Amino acid sequence: MALTIWHNPRCSKSRHALALLTERGLIPVVRLYLTDVPTAAEIMGVLQKLDLPAIKITRTNEAAFKIAGLSKNSTEADLIAAMIADPKLIERAIVINGARAALGRPPEAILDIL
């Protein structure tokens, strides 16, 4: 599987994560997840690779989080459905490298899976 970054070019953390990869000579597949929205299966797969619950990759401070009636106690299914309905709820950046993934918070955290 190719090195992939779920990227939002308007996010400084996401841009920093992408720069960390390219500075090391790596050319990831750049997935603009706001327009190329991940499926439920893809999100669940990434969660498994991250070994994190859905709430850890959900942007809880976004207005859409509250508008959707979500809370930190929402079910995995509800959080994943909300991320699909409004992908700006997906935390960024996420880098996937084969069977491993990392959440770029901070961006340097992605270096652990290279």
- CATH number 3.30.420.40 given to 4-113: no
pLDDT digits (tens, 9 = 90+) for 1-52: 689 999 999 999 999 999 999 999 999 999 999 999 999 999 999 999 999 9
pTM: 0.94
Q: State the catalytic residues.
A: 11
Q: Summarize the confidence of residues 70-85 as an average pLDDT.
A: 98
CA dihedral 101, 105, 111, 114 (to 10 degrees): 10
Question: Does 53 score more than 90 pLDDT?
Answer: yes
The number of CA neighbours under 13 Å toward the Cβ of 46 is 25
Average pLDDT, the chain: 97
